[in-house]
Amino acid sequence: MGKNRMKGKHLRKIDFPSDIAKSLALNIMTKHYKHATHDEKLEILKNVLLKPEDFLEHHALEPLARALVGKPKLKTNYEVHMLKDTGSFNVYGEQQISQNAYKQMESAIRLPIAVKGALMPDAHYGYGLPIGGVLAVENAVIPFGVGLDIGCRMALSIYDLPADHIRKKEFELQKALRRCTHFGNEGTLDFEVDHEILERPEFQATELLKRLHNKARYQLGTSGTGNHFVEFGEVTIADDNTLGLDPGNYMGLLTHSGSRGMGAAIAAMYTKIASQKCKLPKEAQSLAWLSLDEEAGQEYWLSMNLAGDYAKACHDVIHANMKCAMGLNTIAKIENHHNFAWKEIHDGRELIVHRKGATPAAKGEPGIIPGSMCTRGFIVSGLGNPGSLNSASHGAGRKMSRTEARESITKKFMKDQLTAAGIKLIGGSVEEAPYAYKDIETVMSCQQDLVKIEGSFLPKIVRMNKR
């Protein structure tokens, strides 16, 4: 780390009112003032402490100012909140979406804090918000509007190799996938890895984050269960792409995973706190929220952002390990979150936009929308459609629940599908069989107003958890 990196010991001359405020200060100094001296950083922080209200609109210092402004804490329990009588939201791909997902979104848009919403064409039933649900609220965050796997994301590395390199090096690539990846809730990689995320001061901000630090170290560079994967495949870049890449076919590595046990623990704790504070009718109980003006809301926001950065770090480690193992040269990397909440300006006001299983798609923003292990996914750039709150689908979306897939799809049927498509599968289960998912081509046709297709990714060697 650089010699100007600020640590907790450098703040001994300043009396912060809480560990949250101290952690925010360290993070801001590291992120936005990396070239300032320690004395300059201390002077900035002293000024914010002295008059935090003067910094509530500062581009970098606003989070710290909000934590210091001294708004009164809310009562242990809110009064019972009633839902609004009505609420509307935009729907993309209406015929692709089940009624139970609609009903979930109808409850969400009727929350007193809800401002705008949208349902993506891959939407299906979830817990809290439906998967594929987008909800903008005012000055609050809904832990289960983000979900258990905080910061679940996609990452694609494109290499300076032709797509047929996969066929030529098939054995070596499978061997590298087996050695350099790990899936599931138990165990870790067989070799030690490191990343600067583990030095982040936010890990000392709350007792929960302190306890999760060792787990984060242990699970760094690993992937979860379910539909998480690491796969080599053929990248095709379109002739009219706006990504700055030469059109053609390349070898690529695509990963899908999130913040592991860390995100799940954060989600569980703050959902419990929210449900104790925010009493809602039965149909909306899982949508309990935390105000960003209270300490619990600030703690969750800080923890959520750290978990999102940790999810990115896990992808970084996986891609670095595969690059090293195979001697690869990366010419481009595209990545995006899809289980997260962002502060964004919509219709001239700041809102908290929850995208649970939805891809950010602001004007020109690159992203990845995968299909299934047998079908192509898409490299896209956002069109900035305000009707979808600058969002798009995060994949094909399930047409069968995991239970339905287990009960109706045989291993032989899935194997036949994979063989016909020329896919090599390491691990995996019938829960993630291609037949359990919606048709990605249909899903993409429903969101032509949301994203521009820049290219595609076709899986060839897939690594998943084995159930």
Q: Which residues, at least 6 apart from 457, have a Cβ–Cβ distance to it below 8 Å?
A: 156, 233, 234, 235, 236, 252, 254, 368, 370, 376, 377, 378, 379
Side chain identity, residue 383: L
Separation between Cα atoms, residue 66 and residue 83, nearest integer Å: 28
Which one-letter amino acid corresponds to residue 293? D
Query: What are the φ/ψ torsions at residue 383 (nearest 5 degrees)?
Result: -100, 0
Range(s) of the chain covered by CATH 3.90.1860.10 = 146-228+245-369+382-397
Q: Which helix H or strand E contains 411, and what residues bound it? A: helix 411-421
Q: From CA 253, how far away is CA 377, in angstroms rounded? A: 12
- State the pLDDT at residue 230: 98
Q: What are phi and psi of 6, to 5 degrees?
A: -85, 135
* Residue-level pLDDT at 37: 83
pLDDT of 92-139, one tens digit each?
A: 999 999 999 999 999 999 999 999 999 999 999 998 899 999 999 999
**What DSSP designation does 398 have?**
B
Q: How far is CA 455 from CA 240, 337, 356, 370, in A?
A: 9, 19, 24, 12
18-23: which pairs have CB atoms within 8 A and are 24 or more residues apart?
18/67, 18/295, 19/204, 19/205, 19/206, 20/67, 20/205, 20/206, 20/295, 20/298, 20/299, 20/302, 21/64, 21/67, 21/68, 22/205, 23/201, 23/202, 23/204, 23/205, 23/302
Residue 72 CB: number of other CB atoms within 10 A? 7
Distance between alpha carbon 234 and the CA centroid of its chain, in Å? Answer: 24
CA pair distance 127, 38, nearest whole angstrom:
45
By the 8 A CB rule, do 92 and 119 touch? yes
Residues 238-262: tens digit of each pLDDT: 999 999 999 999 999 999 999 999 9
Query: What is 146-228+245-369+382-397's CATH topology?
Result: tRNA-splicing ligase RtcB (3.90.1860)
Q: Give the predicted TM-score (pTM) of the model.
A: 0.86
In this prediction, residue 73 carries a pLDDT of 43
Distance CA 205, CA 334 (A): 31
| CA-CA-CA-CA torsion sign (285, 291, 295, 298) | positive
Contact present, 158 and 235 (Cβ < 8 Å): yes
Regions of the chain short of the pLDDT cut 50: 1, 71-78
Task: Give the CA radius of gyration of the chain.
Answer: 22
Q: What is the pLDDT of residue 72?
A: 41
pLDDT, residue 74, reads 39
CA dist 138 and 19 (Å) reads 26
